[in-house]
Amino acid sequence: MPLTRSFVLTGLLAACALPALAATQSPSYGPQLQGFQYPYPVEHFDFQSQGQSVQMGYMDVPAKSPANGRNVVLMHGKNFCGATWEASIKALSEAGYRVIAPDQIGFCTSSKPEHYQYSFQQLAINTHQLLQKLGISTATLVGHSTGGMLATRYALLYPTQTEQLALVNPIGLEDWKALGVPYRSVDQWYERELKLNADGVREYERKTYYDGRWKPEYERWVDMLVGLNQGPGHKRVAWNSALIYDMIFTQPVYYEFKDLQIPTLLLIGTSDITAIGSDNAPPEVKARIGRYNELGKQVAKLIPHSTLVEFPGLGHAPQMEEPARFHQALLQGLKAL
C-alpha cells in the first residue's frame, strides 16, 4: 500500500442536516476538492478497502519547536475538513507535536466510493492503517463534531495505542433516535444534499454553530463545503454524504462512553445547539436536544477519566471562533497527561 504525494492542495465537511435556501454563486471544486487551497501539503494514502482501491488525503506536519515526541491526530467533523484545523495544526506544531490531519473516506480530499458501507469502526480502521504506514504506534486523538464520535470509536478499538482523547463539541453526546427524532432514509438525505447551497449552509451554521453570529473568515469554509457539493462530482459527493449521515444517526457511541479508559478532555462551547435531524423533529423533541450547556456536564460524568473545559458564549467550533482561547486550553489539557 504505497504512499503517494499529491501537489493538488485541496480540502472539507460536522454535524447536522443543512437546509437548502436561496442559492448564491460559489466556487466549484473537484470530487476530491481539487482546486481548494489547503494550509499544508496534502499527501494521499492508497489502500484497499471493501474490495476497492481508495485514497485517503492527509496532512503530516512536523513539530516546529523542539519535538516533544508526541503525535496528535486531528479528526474533522461532518461539514468540516482537515483544512479547517489550520489554526490548531499551527498551534500544536509550534508546541512540539507532530500533527496528522486526515480526511476520512467520503470527505474532502479523499475518495467518494460508489458503494461503501460506512461505519465508525471502518473509518477508525482506515485511520489506524494510515498511522501504521507513517510509523506511528501511539497518538493523542483530537476529534471535533462527528470526528469526536470517530475518535471515541478509535479509542475503544485501539485503547493501548491511544494516549489521550480531546473531544471538541463532539456530536453523539445523546442518542437522537432514542429521544424521538424521526428517521430519515438514505434516499431522503440524498435528495437534501443535492439541494445544498451557500445561503442555506451559511444560515444554518450561523444559527446552529455560532449562536447567531457570523465572521467574514467563515465564508471560506462555506465555499469549501458548497464548492465540493456543487462541483462536477456532486451526485457522488451527495450520495456519500447521505450514507455518512445515516451512519451518524444509527451508530451512537453514547452508550459506550462509560467504557473509555483513556484520559479524556472535553472542550465544549456551551452555546452549541447541534443535533442531527433537529429540523425534522417535533417541537417538543427539538426543544430538549442539542443543548451543549447541559450535555458536556452529563457526559463528563459518564467518562471515567474526564476533564471538562467549557467556553461560555462559544458555539460548535470554538477552535475556529476564538482560536487563542481554545488552544490555550487544549495545550494545557494535553500537558496534563
Nearest-angstrom CA–CA distance, 300 and 154: 19
323-335 residue pLDDT tens: 999 999 999 999 8
- Asked whether residue 1 carries a pLDDT value surpassing 80, the answer given is no
Percent of the chain predicted with pLDDT > 90: 90
The mean pLDDT of the chain is 92
Neighbours of 52 (CB within 10 A): 11
160-211 residue pLDDT tens: 999 999 999 999 999 999 999 999 999 999 999 999 999 999 999 999 899 8
Residue environment code for 103-114, b if the CB has 16+ CB neighbours within 10 A, otherwise e: bbbbbbbbbbbe
pTM: 0.91
Check if the beta carbon of residue 231 is closer than 8 Å to that of residue 29. Answer: yes
Structural domains present in the chain: 3-335 (3.40.50.1820)
270-317 residue pLDDT tens: 999 999 999 999 999 999 999 999 999 999 999 999 999 999 999 999
Q: Are strands 264-269 and 306-311 parallel, antiparallel or unpaired?
A: parallel
- What are the φ/ψ torsions at residue 54 (nearest 5 degrees)? -135, 160
Q: End-to-end distance of the chain based on CA atoms, in angstroms? A: 33
| pLDDT of the residue at 26 | 75
- Asked whether residue 10 carries a pLDDT value surpassing 60, the answer given is no
Nearest-angstrom CA–CA distance, 129 and 118: 16
Set of cell numbers at residue 331: 495545550
Nearest-angstrom CA–CA distance, 156 and 7: 34
Pick from 229, 159, 236, 162: which is nearest to 197 by CA? 229
Percent of the chain predicted with pLDDT > 70: 92
